[in-house]
């Protein structure tokens, strides 16, 4: 993995590095560069008046220019000055991973760029959205802290199995819509799949609700007053279409509050309403309110039930501080009396795996009582050495421990482990665990040594392993990858024409060669319009009005024949006619 000499990236844990891909800057075509330049020029032209004030200085702080697709080395050279970094990924990544990158102050940037056909709005993440949308606002310290803290909270959010199904369906649809050779039938099938999944999501998980807060702030947020808001959301800052339409009166502007979690969103459609926060501090307050309802702060049976629903590795934290990481299957009846995992499980404390208690040791699962010993008001985790001796918990001695729940643990004590003054684990040989009331057996002596977690309560439950790198948790990596197009001769010729126009614009030389470019465009590439705009810009700048008039008429004819191009072409013509609004960032 290329860390771009950025300490922020160098500190990334291994389990996140598996999402990172190389940028491959050489794959960006001259058309890609023209798409970037068009969007950035339009963004500046419009956003300088409606974006939150750090936007333009933020572009500079993030190492971005209007003229060229950003190079990740340049971005990291600039972002590391404010304690952030950037890394490229392949399209959508799972929300929990996206959140954790944020917690580590890393912006994940889709390596690909939108097609010309989707220049106004892309259904998939792309480098325009991620870099020109997210990066500039990082220069605002209060917002940067909100983004980091959101990532920290989000990385602990519980998700359901259906959340991952929805992620896969969205990712597949976005890949197909950006694929040059995708058939209408393939897209329709993917849309039907997404509709089916969304219709059968059930009760929204923590991650689903948290994603709504993320969407209505980080992606589509407005700041200021209801009657005069400014844009700070990356989805709006990177969409030349919606950044303008969203500010119209017919798009309701609502006060941002904790009630915003009740508003679902559809990534394929313009937003039916937007939310306005008075300050970035208010965003933190709302996030804190929601975090207080999450399993990692609530704990208990309800939270462990969420882990069971997740069907993925989660961590339950005992009141002693012991962390049990695995795939949970049971809570022990109506109450939380006994927790059980299946498959590889690890024990940790303070986020560090305990020696001798990795997932190879507990390869088939782990189970342990939760609660107090019968007839004792004091929690076992707080027992002193003399109190342990009083109940018979002595090394190399046989003991029977009876819990309030009716669960009994018997065996020979082989180890007593403490952490920060609390007992976290007691190990037994010849151990047996059973429910004295029902007769249910949880552990038999012939199964080997028994490790009993110690703790009166489960105080926290969160998604993922406590020590992810030691656990070597397998990430939820999609089997579908974004499509890398192969260009035919006709498209490669068009690339050459775009490159010629760029070279002339940048050097001011060989102006006469543009006449030949124009002849080829109007006869062989009649579906193109952006190269015509670029030609017009250069020719107007150099006073070649004869050919320029012909190109402008050609573009207006396109508008008449293809009304969907009206705004794109007319916005481009405005920039040609008013070069004074340009900014060299």
Per-residue pLDDT reduced to its tens digit, 487-524: 899 999 999 999 999 999 999 999 999 999 999 999 99
d(CA 280, CA 289): 15
The two tokens of residue 440 are 């249910």
d(CA 102, CA 91): 16
Surface-to-core class of residue 384, CB atoms within 10 Å of its CB (0-12 exposed, 13-18 middle, 19+ buried)? exposed
- Give the start-to-end residue ranges of the domains of the chain: 7-159+205-286, 160-204, 296-471, 489-581
CATH number of 7-159+205-286: 1.10.800.10, 1.10.260.40, 1.10.10.10, 3.30.420.40? 1.10.800.10
How many CA atoms within 13 Å lie on the side-chain side of 210?
Answer: 31
pLDDT in the model for residue 93: 83
Helix axes 530-541, 513-524, angle to 10 degrees: 160
Q: Tens place of pLDDT for every residue, the chain, 585 residues?
A: 899 999 999 999 988 998 999 999 999 999 999 999 999 998 888 887 888 877 778 888 898 988 999 999 999 999 999 999 999 998 778 888 889 999 999 999 989 898 898 888 776 778 998 888 888 888 889 999 999 999 999 999 988 777 777 777 877 887 787 777 788 898 889 888 888 887 777 788 899 899 999 999 999 999 999 999 999 998 888 877 787 788 889 999 999 999 999 998 877 678 899 999 999 999 999 999 999 999 999 999 999 999 998 888 999 999 999 999 999 997 766 678 999 999 999 999 999 999 999 999 999 999 999 999 999 999 999 999 999 999 999 999 999 999 999 999 999 999 999 999 999 999 999 999 999 888 999 999 999 999 999 999 999 999 999 999 899 765 555 555 566 678 899 999 999 999 999 999 999 999 999 999 999 999 999 999 999 999 999 999 888 888 999 999 999 999 999 999 999 999 999 989 876 544 444
- Are the C-beta atoms of residues 358 and 345 closer than 8 Å to each other? no
d(CA 170, CA 194): 6
- Are the C-beta atoms of residues 130 and 270 closer than 8 Å to each other? no
d(CA 350, CA 418): 13
| Spatial CA neighbour of 234 closest among 166, 117, 140, 153 | 140
How many CA atoms within 13 Å lie on the side-chain side of 198?
Answer: 14
């Amino acid at each position: 993995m290329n860390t771009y000499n950025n300490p922020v990236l160098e500190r990334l844990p291994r389990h996140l590095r598996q999402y990172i891909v190389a940028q491959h800057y050489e794959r960006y075509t001259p058309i890609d560069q023209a798409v970037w330049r068009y969007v950035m020029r339009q963004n500046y032209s419009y956003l300088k008046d409606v974006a939150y004030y750090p936007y333009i200085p933020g572009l500079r702080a993030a190492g971005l220019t209007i003229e060229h697709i950003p190079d990740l080395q340049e971005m990291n050279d600039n972002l590391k000055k404010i304690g952030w970094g950037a890394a490229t990924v392949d399209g959508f990544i799972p929300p929990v991973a996206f959140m954790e990158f944020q917690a580590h102050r890393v912006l994940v940037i889709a390596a690909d760029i939108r097609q010309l056909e989707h220049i106004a709005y892309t259904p998939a993440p792309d480098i325009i959205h991620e870099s020109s949308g997210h990066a500039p606002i990082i220069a605002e310290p209060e917002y940067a802290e909100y983004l980091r803290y959101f990532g920290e909270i989000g990385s602990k959010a519980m998700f359901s199995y259906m959340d991952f199904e929805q992620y896969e369906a969205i990712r597949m649809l976005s890949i197909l819509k950006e694929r040059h050779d995708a058939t209408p039938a393939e897209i329709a099938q993917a849309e039907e799949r997404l509709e089916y999944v969304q219709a059968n999501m059930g009760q929204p998980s923590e991650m689903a609700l948290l994603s709504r807060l993320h969407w209505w702030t980080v992606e589509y947020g407005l700041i200021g007053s209801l009657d005069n808001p400014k844009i700070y959301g990356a989805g709006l800052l990177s969409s030349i279409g919606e950044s303008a339409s969203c500010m119209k009166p017919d798009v309701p502007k609502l006060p941002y509050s904790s009630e915003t979690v009740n508003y679902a969103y559809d990534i394929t459609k313009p937003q039916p309403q937007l939310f306005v926060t008075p300050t970035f501090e208010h965003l933190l307050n709302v996030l804190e309110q929601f975090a207080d309802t999450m399993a990692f702060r609530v704990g208990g049976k309800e939270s462990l039930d969420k882990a069971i629903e997740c069907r993925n590795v989660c961590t339950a934290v005992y009141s002693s501080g012991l962390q049990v990481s695995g795939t949970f299957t049971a809570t022990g009846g109506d109450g939380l009396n006994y927790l059980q995992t299946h498959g590889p499980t690890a024990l940790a404390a303070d986020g560090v795996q305990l020696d001798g208690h990795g997932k190879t040791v507990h390869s088939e699962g782990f189970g342990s009582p939760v609660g107090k010993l019968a007839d004792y008001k004091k929690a076992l985790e707080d027992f002193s050495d003399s109190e342990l001796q009083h109940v018979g918990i002595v090394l190399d001695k046989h003991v029977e421990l009876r819990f309030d729940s009716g669960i009994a643990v018997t065996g020979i004590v082989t180890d007593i482990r403490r952490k920060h003054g609390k007992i976290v684990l007691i190990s037994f040989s010849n151990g047996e665990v059973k429910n004295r009331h029902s007769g249910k057996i949880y552990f038999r002596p012939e199964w080997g040594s028994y490790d009993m977690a110690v703790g009166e309560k489960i105080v926290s439950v969160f998604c993922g392993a406590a020590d992810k790198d030691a656990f070597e948790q397998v990430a939820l990596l999609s089997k579908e990858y974004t499509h890398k197009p192969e260009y035919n001769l006709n498209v490669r010729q068009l690339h050459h024409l775009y490159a010629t126009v760029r070279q002339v614009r940048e050097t001011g030389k060989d102006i006469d060669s543009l006449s030949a470019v124009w002849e080829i465009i109007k006869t062989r590439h009649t579906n193109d319009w952006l190269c015509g705009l670029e030609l017009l810009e250069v020719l107007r700048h150099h006073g070649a009005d004869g050919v320029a008039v012909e190109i402008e008429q050609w573009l207006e004819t396109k508008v008449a024949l293809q009304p969907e191009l009206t705004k794109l072409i007319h916005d481009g013509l405005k920039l040609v006619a008013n070069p004074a609004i340009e900014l060299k960032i």
